[in-house]
Amino acid sequence: MFEIILTACLATTDICAERMIPARYPDLAACKVDMPKRTAKWTAAHEGLTVSSPACIASDELADHVAPLAVTQVASGVFVHKPPHGIPNPDNAGDLANLGFVIGEKSVAVIDAGGSRHVAERLYSAIRARTDLPISAMILTHVHPDHSLGASLFQEAGATVIGHPNLELSLANRAESYSSAMQRLMGPKAYLGTRIVGPDETSVLTVDLGERALTISYISEIAHSDTDLTVMDQQTGILFAGDLVFAGHTPALDGSILGWQRVLDEMTRRTFTRVVPGHGPPALAWPGGADAMRAYLSAITEETRAAIANGEPMSRAVRHIGEQERSNWELFDEFNQRNATTAYKELEWE
């Protein structure tokens, strides 16, 4: 099998980066014949970029060009990439969220795509280091950019992008702000080639990978966001929870704090072998792995209600709500006050 590697540059600058087209040609001759058409199509889909020096490379040599993400096998055929906690910057290129893939007998499913094309290419390289099977599904657990912005790479590879029924509109509404913010934070070189795409399917309940099925559950209630879904591997009982579950990294509230707690309550009543959080270790024991997060959300809720009952304005209340939880979480200053603000706006209307 062969892929295409090329140099992509911003047309108005000298900012360039090597990028990959996941072409999957059966032999070198077929790759070379089709390469001009594929590179032209890729350039047309990436406004503002020019390309040069395209080359066909064998899939087993891909790691020499695209460094594979480190992954942990958490169960047979189930792999998870866990990056350090952080915020987008040029060094991490948006590699901030746990990403995963499941290998069946006939194909592969990817769960979450990373915060840029560069991260998605590295995830793709990690997959190719383990299997030549086609990638049939790219499942996005929710809208946030650190999970969704790399999806176009897998769509180009032939995968069906699957997301929540609300995902297409939510991504469309946020695309400009996401793209602008991520480019500003990580720099144009790290972001180069990233293209935001919506889901191809929003109602798939089962993904058949060949002797292995994944069950997708769409969360109808607004929780972490209004676009949450979970993915369970029926063979191993592993659940990919997306950002419905955080561990170590301060939870990020972009939906309803009450809805999130109700969803977590329901999830903890279900039996899973282990749960892959959106941020945290590759896999957590369940339901105990959610204890710290549930305590955090309860603390925010109780303290916010108390501040409202005492007539404390939001501008002052958010400075102290949740402070008792500070020592339990990384990136507390980056997320806690935002969480308190969102919770206050919701709970003042109870």
Q: What integer pLDDT is reported at residue 263 of this predicted model?
A: 98
Enter the pTM of the model. Answer: 0.97
Separation CA 228–CA 258 (nearest Å): 15
Q: 72-245+273-284, which class in CATH?
A: alpha beta
Span of 7-16, 115-124, 246-255, 282-291 with lowest mean pLDDT:
7-16
Answer yes or no: are the C-beta atoms of 276 and 100 closer than 8 Å.
yes
How close are the terminal C-alpha atoms of the chain, in Å? 59
Q: What integer pLDDT is reported at residue 27 of this predicted model?
A: 92
Q: Where are the beta strands (DSSP E) in the chain?
A: 2-10, 16-25, 49-58, 72-75, 78-81, 99-103, 108-111, 135-139, 160-162, 206-208, 213-218, 229-233, 238-246, 274-279
pLDDT at residue 60 greater than cutoff 90? no
Q: What integer pLDDT is reported at residue 14 of this predicted model?
A: 85
- Residues 256-274: tens digit of each pLDDT: 999 999 999 999 999 999 9
Q: What are the residue ranges spanned by the domains of the chain?
A: 2-62, 72-245+273-284
Burial 258-275 (b: 16+ CB within 10 A, else e): bbbbebbeebbeeebbbb
Q: pLDDT exceeding 70 applies to what percent of the chain?
A: 100
Q: Which of 75, 118, 133, 123 is nearest to 100 (CA)?
A: 123
pLDDT at residue 166 greater than cutoff 90? yes
Separation CA 249–CA 329 (nearest Å): 6
Answer yes or no: are the C-beta atoms of 82 and 281 closer than 8 Å.
yes
pLDDT at residue 1 greater than cutoff 90? no
Residue 158 has φ and ψ, to the nearest 5°, of 105, 0
Q: Which of 211, 113, 222 is nearest to 161 (CA)?
A: 113
Q: How far is CA 236 from the centre of its chain?
A: 22
Span of 19-28, 148-157, 206-215, 288-297 with lowest mean pLDDT:
19-28
Q: What integer pLDDT is reported at residue 12 of this predicted model?
A: 83
